[in-house]
Structure 1
């Protein structure tokens, strides 16, 4: 933990809570990875200077800490914000303003700071190696400069174009085969349903020679032979002989002649 003791000792008198201690630690880890602190706040100020130390007013706001950093080579600038969620939770966000890339780290201060030893560097931090690794891998790995334009970028662009074109074809195919979609037009390759002619209803009943038969209750061509000929007239009826054409469908008037196996009426002798 080279350098951490010096950084902490210089600000130990202003540290009043566990959040201050963990922000001081994250600051040291960023400096260790090749950065310098420019100052506090979102905008540059007249008192800004490149330093490994924390600025004078770094912890004035206990709910939101804001610090600005610059890479040692002077090419990249970063904005660090530490938001206090509650007494035990601090969320760090590091953003590169030029690329709008950012990263985040959530720290439970109870895992890394002993609140009873805030003014003793040798006892205040717990599991410092784990916190250092989190800052390096989660907070400092994401904010990077944009990739240069070149053949690789063009290749990725063309690949993205092909992916978008392929995705568009699949979307159109899903729409065309959507079972809930109502088609707006028919192509020549589609088979149209064969709907029955509504004016043909009852045609079989009107045609006595229809081979399919009709819907009448009595069909003289498909029932048992009758004992009488309708064309000869019916005794006691109003139809004279010849009134019913041969082969025509005819429902006889009244009940047919009694058969031996018919049930006799009550009192019949």
Structure 2
């Protein structure tokens, strides 16, 4: 959208005797857009320092079109404007000194129709030029690139703020394998559940979760919760089994009888020939 611009008649009247060519008119238009957006001219040159005593003005200083090097202040920061002549145009650069950022805009000399008259008569398409100066020359340097970089590095992603970590493991008791949590009753049907449901988020499960070391392991027998001692793991040399290690024992632990019904064959044996044959 084109931006309204006021003050051309006053500016042009103050520098009319200095105008030599179409480049001068394009630099004047750029100066007016800068001033309209809060910039103050503090003189000529390319010095990169200020002492705070520089006089501020909305007019162009004498000799402004000798080499097109003009200094401005905006929100306490120094900006240097440089214009470079081309065969049929001009390139205007605006340098933000404190961050060493540069913006530029290029105009064709044929965009200036005449050297006298109203702004519409001198630059018929001045509104599009004003928009380009605002967007390509001013907006690209007045916003700090450093503050944008710091903001992008420190702001946490909103999408991850409330997402639980599925790999979180509760703290364990020193020397044992069970997490620090209230003891739950053992459920004989939950053996191997942790292999099928490693994160404990099965929506079909009913009742309290059986944690590691409390009946939910994937082994035939859970590892001991304390340091191994004599007689804890028969057949295994003391110190060879790390505390809390997953293992299948070589034989049932001592003290656990294996009753078997009188009419029930051993599940580890093959049935006799013809067993369970209805025609036998």
- TM-score (structure 2 length as normaliser): 0.48
Higher helix share: 1
Return the TM-score normalized by structure 1.
0.50
Q: Which has the larger radius of gyration?
A: 1
